[in-house]
Amino acid sequence: MSIKSFDEMYDISNLSTDNIFKIAKYIANNDDFSDYTFIGIRAIEPEYAEELRPSYRWDDGEMTDEQLNGVSAYNTDIDTVWDDVDTIADKLSNAIESSKCYVFGSRKPFIVMGTDGEGGEDINEIIIYDPIILDIRKCR
């Protein structure tokens, strides 16, 4: 996937407040997402986004060879059943801002979602099983 294609489909690094609200509205009003109880922000190099593979456990800043049960992401705390559009927009905006420390080099942030997962070892970390990446073009 080219970087331009990735940016158009998934990159959330430069979203306006209006665009965050559109994404929140899309999530809130899409019945297909009601089972997606794990929603996070993931940062990765675009060339690796085609197929999200399980993440690895890190120990004192060093990656180990222990593979996790899914993809590690920054938890948005969005509840697709109970949260209204404004709440989803606030939680998404806060998570995007708070997860910026994971965006460096050629990494780009995107929204990853799944129907199952678990809490991670780090603060605000979730592990999402069989995740999808939200195509933000559908939210405009």
4 confidence band (pLDDT: 50, 70, 90):
low
Lowest mean pLDDT among 8-17, 18-27, 109-118: 8-17
Task: For residue 29, give both structure tokens.
Answer: 């009003």
pLDDT for residue 3 is more than 60:
no
Rounded Cα gap, residues 7 and 19, in angstroms: 14
Residue 1: is its pLDDT beyond 50? Answer: no
Higher per-residue confidence, 48 vs 23: 23
Q: How many domains does the chain have?
A: 1
Q: pLDDT, tens digit, for every residue of 83-136?
A: 999 999 999 999 999 998 887 777 888 999 999 999 998 899 999 999 988 988
- Kindly report the pTM of this predicted structure: 0.88
Order of all β-strands in the sheet with 38-44: 116-119, 125-129, 71-75, 38-44, 108-114, 132-133
Q: How large a percentage of the chain has pLDDT more than 70? A: 94
Which residues span the domain enclosing 107?
Answer: 3-139
Distance of CA 52 to the CA centre of its chain: 12
16/32 Cα distance (integer angstroms): 25
User: Per-residue pLDDT averaged across 55-61, rounded?
Assistant: 88
